[in-house]
Chain A
Amino acid sequence: MTGRGGSGLPPADSVVEEALAASRAAGCVVIVEDISDANVRFALNTTTTNGVRRDRRVTVVSFVDQPAGVSAGVASASGPVEIAGLVAAAESDAGSSEPAEDASPLEPTGCDDLFAEPPATTDLGVFAGILEDLRPAFGAARAEKRVLAGFAIHELRTTYLGTSAGGRRRHVQPTGAFELVARTADGAASTWAGVGTPDFSDVSLADLDDRLRLRLGWAQRKVDLGPGRYEVILPPDAVADLVLEMDFAASGREAEDGGTVYSAPGGRTRLGERLTAAPFEMWSDPAAAGLECTPFVVAGSSGADTSVFDNGLPIPPARWITKGALNRLRYHRAGARRAGAAFAPPADNLLLALPGSEGSLDDLIAHTSRGLLLTCLWYIREVDRSTLLLTGLTRDGIYLVEGGEVVGAVNNFRFNESPLDALGRTIEASRSERALSREWHEWANRTAMPGLRVADFNMSSVSPAS
């Protein structure tokens, strides 16, 4: 092993400097993402696969002046990268491309004091507590005729971003998740619990296992229900499953083009329009406590609302929805100028709250005379872009609530529902807290959501799956 950071790779900051020095173009951005991760997987009361990985990807963006504007080219590679060749490849693609629609001046973005620090690394040691508890947990599960499955992953992603305008940014992004599924040995009932965490210091396998035991206990009584519209209690994790789709769809350019739920006729958008009767707030903020995420733009390619020209710019907090009205759509700088909207790059966290709602999920249950308590949702896909109609399944625990108490477990359903419509039919919310979307956490780990009590949720058909 040679070099800093315990690997034979050259120091990341020197890779940035080498690539910038090799650039012959009008402008250049170099991104080095150094990824260290560890994971453990288990199923059938036994560990199955696990691994530790070290990856490093170098991305070079070159900007070339053309008679009619500036064009961009991108080349990236992981592994033992030939820097000069990568820079030449990006410059060649930029030189042969037409001027970019998203062109904006490369801004000086300041320098981080820690730019020359080595990347952060993790290993299986981060799971020491969980691994210690696993063997007794498997033993207890076997004795109680339960089957445990689950997954723990921890990633440290150190991003180095340098620009020919003098910017030198560095950020270490920790991302972790732990999921546990318990199933009765006869397969008749199952339930799930998951948590997002930066470092696993706050994760207890025993606590999650206790939550699962309680829910498997609820399933000792079974109730068969048919399709229909039901009052539902969505816990924060399930709200994250749905609300993230509202965020994914929030592209300004695509709304202007007329093809999304945020489109208005005549090439306009629904910005400013009231979406929900209740005064929901939905926002992103790189500095959100406990959900801190990369505070500057890292764009390895341009898209409808992200731009390689914005690399290194600070990501401002964004109120996507305020007082129930659509307040921001995603725009890169060039798009924002064109549309007369605010620059709103994507951020790697999402928060939703209904101000004034301070109760717990238990309070929502206690206030329900008859409804269905969900655990999480699964296989969620967009059915109709114009209404953001989603389909998907209830999974691993759906329970009947009567008179404010859980009275049994219900069969699973396929739902067809739009999250915007569901927010619009909210009866009551609990306080916002850290949530883990089972469906999307691999792409969107950092969310805080309330639990919601929603009227008339469309359970389209029964799923026999358990």
Chain B
Amino acid sequence: MGILLGLTRALAALNAALLAAGRQIGTACVGLMVLFILIQVFFRYVLNDAPAWTEEGARFLMLWMTGLMAPTAFRRGGFVAIETLVRLIPDRPATVLQLLLLLVSLCVLVVGVQIAWAETTGFVGRAPTDALRLPLDLTGTDWFKIPKSWARASIAVGCTLLLSVNVELLLRGLVRLLGAGDALLEIADATIMLEAE
């Protein structure tokens, strides 16, 4: 039990740190997305010359925002699910059911991580993006074409973080099943809801 608890706490600390960094970067992505699209509108309607990079850049940021912030939502119980059955049955069977469901999501994520990294490092990932460039010197004569892998990596990183959270939740479930749930620190309460509704 000691080893299991130690492992759970270590993974929880790692996830907390990684996800906190992810939230910071994701927050910056949100701000930059707005800025990019406002620049696009300004250039198109005021200067009559829309830059090509704004739309693709904003999509790039949205993908990273999703990849970096969704794992926090998952860890805090913010993924939409019908929890009626889990609430209706006694604690112990409910924990077993949750563990089984976490095994299903684990399988989804293990496959997802493999495919996402293969797509990132593969042929498609090596192709350059349509309009995203980075200057290689101060004069702006030499440019580096950002490859598609930089955008695809958002999903690979997101899947990897989700997998790490999934393993933590599995370990927490096991600890609870073995009767040592009180020894676990609570994950911050979920305040994430589908506010789209």
A, B bound: no
Residues of B within 8 A of A (CB): none
A binding-site residues for B, Cβ under 8 Å: none
